[in-house]
Amino acid sequence: MRGVRIFLWAAVVVLAGVTAYLLFNRSLQKEIAEAPFGVPFQLVTQNNEPITEKAFQGKPTALFFGFTHCPDVCPTTLFEMDNLLKKVDPDKTKLQAFFISVDPERDTPEIMKTYVSNVSDRITGISGDPAKVMEMVKGFRVYAKKVPTDESKPDGDYVMDHTASVFLLDDKGRFAGTIAYQEDSAVAEKKLENLITRNL
Ligand code: NI
């Protein structure tokens, strides 16, 4: 009889613990889902204007990370994003897009401007103080790593290995999905349309 009572008490304690954990976990998940994605930052646009995380609010946003020396992924993504934006938002009023450098040592705001404006007049390049840029990149959970193009010359030329997905944020700056590199363009278009519709 005593053994049964101890067992029941133990069960009550375990159950209470599990319930508390589940409630805590749920509130934590809710908080994460409702918070703006990433971290606060102070960087510079391609037009040498200050920009902070507040710029990713007010309108749904497409963000992607890369560098101007990128051989293929970044130019392709920039070009495709420009095409998609023209299709889903011809009036340039519903969506905004930013291209953030993961190679701020070489990508000054001026270089970003030349590079981005060559492809699109609706995507804004972001760069700035290299340490601050890399802090922001990390805060947005983007992978970026310097890879020397010639292993025998570690101080020579390099490329940046980096996350190739486009991040989608709603008009409160909250994470709303991704577009994968070379995602089917009809699917990508639908994702951007949904992003616009749910924020109307
Ligand atoms: Ni790239």
For ligand 1, the distance from its centroid to the CA atom of residue 33, given in whole angstroms, is 28
The distance in angstroms from the start CA to the end CA of the chain is: 64
**pLDDT value, residue 111:** 97
* Least trusted range by pLDDT, from 36-40, 49-53, 141-145, 196-200: 196-200
Tokens at 173, concatenated: 């700056």
78 Cα: distance to centroid of ligand 1 (angstroms): 10
Tell me the pLDDT tens digit for each residue of 7-40.
888 888 888 888 888 777 776 666 566 799 999 9
Position 121 scores a pLDDT of 96
- DSSP-based three-state secondary structure for 103: coil
- Tell me the CA–centroid distance for residue 36 and ligand 1, in Å: 25
The yes-or-no verdict on residue 200 having pLDDT over 70 is no
Which backbone phi and psi does 110 adopt, to 5 degrees?
Answer: -65, -45
pLDDT of residue 16: 85
Q: State the Cα–Cα distance between residues 99 and 106, nearest whole angstrom.
A: 15
Q: Between vectors from CA 63 to CA 119 and to CA 141, what angle results, nearest 5°?
A: 135
Cα(135) to centroid(ligand 1), Å: 18
User: Are 74 and 103 contacting, i.e. CB atoms less than 8 angstroms apart?
Assistant: no
Measured in Å, residue 145 CA sits from the centre of ligand 1 at 11
Q: Residue 56 has what DSSP assignment? A: G
- pTM for the predicted model, two decimal places: 0.83
User: Is 173 in a helix, a strand, or coil?
Assistant: coil
DSSP letter assigned to residue 2: H
Tokens at residue 87, please? 């299709």
185 contacts 98 by C-beta, under 8 angstroms? no
Please give the distance of CA 37 from its chain centroid, rounded to a whole number: 8
| pLDDT for res 21 | 81
50-52: strand order across its sheet: 50-52, 42-45, 123-127, 96-101, 61-66, 166-169, 175-179
Which of 96, 67, 77, 41 minimizes the C-alpha distance to 185? 77
- pLDDT tens across 130-189, in order? 999 999 999 999 999 999 998 887 788 999 999 999 999 999 999 999 999 989 999 999
Environment of ion ligand 1 (residues, CB < 5 A): 66, 70, 73-74
- Taking the centre of ligand 1 as the mean of its atom positions, its distance from the CA of residue 85, in whole angstroms, is 19
How high is the pLDDT of residue 33? 64
Q: pLDDT, tens digit, for every residue of 61-75?
A: 999 999 999 988 999
d(CA 13, CA 8): 9
Amino acid (1-letter code) at residue 30: K
